């Protein structure tokens, strides 16, 4: 078992899942990259809210 996973498992056993996931997630590059995208999502939501008009067309 890699060292980081041992650290995450110890955190889970001592403090529970609340501390397990932050430690575990730091080991996963995919999650790390996804977390960086939240700022971009907020910018896109703001842009969409100010640059679109509600549609009055109904199917």
Q: Which residues of the chain have pLDDT under 70?
A: 1, 54-59
21 within 8 A of 15, measured Cβ to Cβ: no
CA-based R_g, the chain, Å: 20
What distance in Å separates the CA atoms of residue 27 and residue 31, rounded to the nearest whole number?
9
pTM summary value = 0.50
Instruction: Identify the pLDDT of residue 57.
Output: 65
């Amino acid at each position: 078992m890699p060292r980081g996973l041992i650290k995450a498992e110890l955190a889970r056993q001592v403090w529970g899942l609340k501390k397990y996931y932050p430690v575990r997630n730091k080991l996963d590059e995919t999650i790390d990259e996804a977390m960086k995208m939240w700022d971009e999502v907020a910018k896109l939501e703001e842009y969409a809210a100010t640059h679109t008009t509600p549609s009055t067309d109904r199917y």
